[in-house]
Structure 1
Amino acid sequence: MTLDAAAAPKNTTRDPRDGLGVLAPAAMGASVVLTLLIGALGPSAMVPALAGPSWEPPYSLGAGPDARLVIALAAAAILLGGAGLGAALHSRWRPDPRWLLAAGSAAAAVLAFLPPSGSADHLNYAAYGRLAALGHDPYAVTPAEVPADPVAGAVEEWAGVTSVYGPVATAVQALASLAAGDSVRLTVFGMALFNAAAFVGTALLVHRFTAGDEALQRRAALLWAANPLMIYHLSAGMHVDTLAVFCMVAALVAWRAGGRWRSLAATGLLLGAGIGVKLNAGLVALGPAWELRRSPARLAVVAGTATATVAVVYGLAGPHVLDQVGEASRKVSLGTPWQLVKRGLQELFGSGAYTVWIQLGSMTLLAVLAWLLLRALPAGRVPGAAGATGPAPGATGPAPEGDGSGLRGAAGAPAPAVAAVVVAAWLFAAPYALPWYDGLAFALLALASWPALELFMVARVTILSLGYLPAREALRPDDLLWLKTVVRQEVVPWSLLALTVALGWWAARAGARARRRPASAAPRP
């Protein structure tokens, strides 16, 4: 044995994070490729057919793949995406954030030219836009009332339902319809271009917000631009949530520009626009409100501008706009733990929806989770200004130094962190939730990195996504009924219940440790 060999350390165990660094890009890349393949194969159990000549976009091979094949491809895309993203966030892989931004943006651009997959929601959007373009009120007239129209008549599952989306979303849908006329394909393509622009625009804003800190910028790109689960749901699925996310991220970027009155007014305007897409996006407004609680004048500017924008948008559309939203708020989706509660109540007390009980329970859980998570916010720095610690707009003192996690303590937590906490708590507590709703939480976490909460969100969206294969129930093969009766109705809600309990337990312990740690013991960057 040589001297060098004898002097070598005996423990040569490789850091498991090195292996994750190899797994992460391979799994994430494979997930995105499978997502692209599902759309490229054309109409299937995962991809609704679009009427119109094949030379019009979006394009596909029209291969007519078997339902079992595309469902298997989707399941693989979800599992690989979740595993790859989790590994990337926990590994030593250090890609250039610009490459992640470019790759994710390229995938979103390509998907705009492929037919949407994962659900038939885009046919609803096209129909509501068509109704508005024809002079009908999509909040009072259903697509089923105009059955002869080629676009309105293409709706699959919600033909008898008026629009549940906000007036800003309807305006975008109507604009696409006006440009496309009575072509279903071109209407969907027009909306896909808006969707891709919103996805890429959000990625660019997140990249700019985290400029100056390569580690935060890399993590932000993983959470949004190159996130295979968000590409699967928001780019390939073309859900209207992408527009709401863009508005809310733009609002927080304007907010971080400084405490000038113009920036504050822009923040309020963009918050109002996001609420005009989907009402639940308004939870983000609690972030700026928290930071400005000691600055009434600035708070009044943001709140006043946002309120005025919402009043104008919804006022022009009419009060009946919220009718369908009220109906939706009383529903319980099969994949949430509240479905287990509903079934238990029905077994104990007889048939009934028990709507009020479930709504009260949901609001209580939301408040508890939000409180626990706020207490657990780690000390850290505010991202956004050359990666340096600094005061937030409207703050009354300097930001405390911390562990570089991108967050500050709850008493002075930056707007994105508080917004991320509230949105995450809402997603875990909501009786009705679909996997693409989680996009808002991922975008907010991209602005304010919190590794532990990010992994909980990755687990949540992966589990919930598996419960919606395929979302188009009518085209599911009979021998795959277990995907609904076993996976969606049993495995997913029980798994999410366990994950929610784990989140609460972890947050309670993290909050207790944070309270016991003396301020002088906080690690410094």
Structure 2
Amino acid sequence: MAPGLTRTHRLCVGLSVALLLVVGAGAPNAALPDLAPRGWAPGQLLPVALSPAAVTAVLWTAYLLGGVAVYLGLRGRVAALRSWAVPVGLGVLALLTAPFGSADHVNYLAYGRILVGGGDPWVEAPVEWAGGSDPVTSRVEEPWTTEPSVYGPLATLLHGLAAHLGGDSLRQGVWVWQVVVVLAWLIVRWLLRRVLGPGVHGRVDVLWTLNPLVLGVGVLGAHVDVVAAALAVAAVAVVAGRPGPVGAALGGGLVAGAGSTKFTYAVVGVGVVAAWWVVGHRSARLARLVGSLVAGFAVVAVALHAWAGPHVYDQLVRSRQAVSLATPWRPVLEWARDANGEDTTRLAISLSAAVLAVVLAWCLLRISRPAAPTAPATTTATAAVALWVTACLTLAYSLAAPYSLPWYDLLAWAALPAVRPGIVDVVALVRLVALAVAYVPGRVLGMTPAVEDLTLGVRRGVVPWVGLVLWVVVIAAGARSGSGRWRAPRRAGSSPTPTR
């Protein structure tokens, strides 16, 4: 450890988190939807009414400081926290604030409300539910008022639970959902500390627990991605901690849970299978493990989707060729669609992005390694490899996807502690800082024309080029790396053999 860097890291974390909490504890603003009346849930704590310009400046400062904090924590190899006091304290503070950075949590409660009311959230538009007079669904903000749910059946069940417990009060339902998110965030830390060796517990806290970007974008934003990440990490923990078909089946059920919360999080199943192969499982044993994983996945996924009905992915299919403003694909769309047509250009972008994601994943795997020996086939080895592969695949998808938002990276950050320190940390950090800054304040309402022009200028004119630079960096590093070619052990107990 470097004491100077450790002190500076703590200072940056403290300042960044304090700024984030000020936004969440203040009055409604351009980042913070109005959830009043509060009912029995916490209300506004600070007599602070930030203007659109002020909230933008505060959040930009917080996220930039957060990026510096993570970099210093990694560089200084900051030690793990000695107790749970700080994480639990941060969780309590998060529950005293209102979510900010988007209005997604309002959508969650609206879909849950429709479910509890006997409707189909994958078909019903919030603005039309109950004639537009429902006290929860009528609070959904543009541009989502006419959009059915894009979330999976397990996520929607949890949204329904929050809506049921919250009753007619939007604030009460959102607070219940915040409790779910905070618990998921704490569970990720607990699981990572159980399955990864003590030598990487400091990385767990730098990259997850004390990461202001994860806290701001995920926890204080109350995004469903935190819950999906917890299910994905739980799948790895169960598979690693219970080697054999029973553990594989239970892990498969958790993979289905993660994918049924948010579709892309099922990628953790690929990480698990890759881990079994890398640590030395072969032929008949590997086939039995994969079969058990698939069986567990099928039981849970089929049950959830049979309950949800045939329209679960209708909205996802309709939006499959969307292109968000802060990705490098947006300039491509705007340049090419006049010449080639809107539909043709979007299709070409989707296909190109799929190819690019494969290339980036290959490069990220080449330039990184799990933060634990891959042999013998211990709990730590299996978990580290599964999370390493998951981190690389998730980060590659986030980098390449035509439609990408900052909270889409949360699974990568939950898995990143299992990756050996290196360039992947830097790539993930630059991307998340850039995307977090791009989507400040985060709502389409409440901004002045000047603030809207400024933030859209950053989102459309700056951040896409950061993404393009990251593509180049990852591909160049992957092309240069000769250490990425290696063979997994032929049997459990042997070591990977580098080849040149």
Displacement of 1:450 in angstroms is 4.0
Measure, in 2, the Cα distance between the counterparts of 1:74 and 1:54: 28
SS in 2 for 1:51: coil
Write out aligned runs for 1:20-169 (5 A): 20-53=5-38, 56-61=41-46, 63-92=48-77, 94-99=78-83, 102-146=85-129, 147-157=132-142, 158-169=144-155
Q: Is the CA contact (8 Å cut-off) linking 2:135 and 2:170 kept in structure 1?
A: yes
Larger Rg: 1
Q: Is the CA contact (8 Å cut-off) linking 1:291 and 1:392 kept in structure 2?
A: no
Identity of aligned pairs, percent?
Answer: 32
- Other-structure match for 1:336: 327
Aligned counterpart in structure 1 of residue 291 of structure 2, from 300, 305, 309: 300
1:419 to 2:386 alignment: no
Measure, in 1, the Cα distance between the counterparts of 2:270 and 2:370: 20
Displacement of 1:344 in angstroms is 2.4
Letter in structure 1 aligned against 2:213: L
Q: Is the CA contact (8 Å cut-off) linking 1:34 and 1:73 kept in structure 2?
A: yes
Which runs of no fewer than 5 residues in structure 1 stay unpaired? Answer: 1-14, 384-388, 394-405
Which runs of no fewer than 5 residues in structure 2 stay unpaired? Answer: 488-494
Displacement of 1:477 in angstroms is 1.5
Q: Is the CA contact (8 Å cut-off) linking 1:46 and 1:70 kept in structure 2?
A: yes
Displacement of 1:362 in angstroms is 0.6
1:464 to 2:447 alignment: no
1:224 to 2:195 alignment: no
* CA deviation string 1:156-206 (max 9, x = no partner): 121100000011111111111111211111011111111111111111111
Displacement of 1:521 in angstroms is 10
Letter in structure 2 aligned against 1:229: L
Q: Is the CA contact (8 Å cut-off) linking 1:32 and 1:107 kept in structure 2?
A: no
- Other-structure match for 2:369: 378
Displacement of 1:210 in angstroms is 2.1
* CA deviation string 1:262-299 (max 9, x = no partner): 21121111111111100010111111122345310111
1:446 to 2:417 alignment: yes
SS in 2 for 1:37: helix
1:348–1:237 CA distance, 2 compared to 1 (3 A): same
- Other-structure match for 2:176: 190
Measure, in 2, the Cα distance between the counterparts of 1:54 and 1:501: 51
Displacement of 1:347 in angstroms is 4.8
Write out aligned runs for 1:269-280 (5 A): 269-280=253-264
Q: Is the CA contact (8 Å cut-off) linking 1:203 and 1:224 kept in structure 2?
A: yes
Q: Is the CA contact (8 Å cut-off) linking 1:196 and 1:235 kept in structure 2?
A: yes
Normalising by the residue count of structure 2, what TM-score does the alignment of the two structures yield? 0.90
Letter in structure 1 aligned against 2:249: A
* CA deviation string 1:90-119 (max 9, x = no partner): 125x334335x5423321221122111111
1:204 to 2:190 alignment: yes
SS in 2 for 1:502: helix
Q: Is the CA contact (8 Å cut-off) linking 2:369 and 2:420 kept in structure 1?
A: no
Q: Is the CA contact (8 Å cut-off) linking 1:377 and 1:407 kept in structure 2?
A: no
Q: Is the CA contact (8 Å cut-off) linking 2:370 and 2:419 kept in structure 1?
A: no
Measure, in 2, the Cα distance between the counterparts of 1:117 and 1:271: 29
Q: Is the CA contact (8 Å cut-off) linking 2:371 and 2:420 kept in structure 1?
A: no
1:520–1:492 CA distance, 2 compared to 1 (3 A): closer
SS in 2 for 1:136: coil
Measure, in 2, the Cα distance between the counterparts of 1:415 and 1:469: 33
1:351–1:180 CA distance, 2 compared to 1 (3 A): closer
Q: Is the CA contact (8 Å cut-off) linking 2:384 and 2:418 kept in structure 1?
A: no
Aligned counterpart in structure 1 of residue 350 of structure 2, from 338, 359, 374: 359
Measure, in 2, the Cα distance between the counterparts of 1:276 and 1:340: 32
Q: Is the CA contact (8 Å cut-off) linking 1:333 and 1:339 kept in structure 2?
A: yes
Normalising by the residue count of structure 1, what TM-score does the alignment of the two structures yield? 0.86
- Other-structure match for 2:406: 435
Task: Figure out how many residues of one structure are paired with residues of the other and give that number.
Answer: 481
Question: What's the RMSD between the two structures over aligned residues?
Answer: 2.5
Q: Is the CA contact (8 Å cut-off) linking 2:362 and 2:478 kept in structure 1?
A: no
* CA deviation string 1:363-417 (max 9, x = no partner): 100111112222333376348xxxxx53157xxxxxxxxxxxx989xxx982111
SS in 2 for 1:25: helix
Displacement of 1:302 in angstroms is 0.7
Measure, in 1, the Cα distance between the counterparts of 2:82 and 2:15: 20
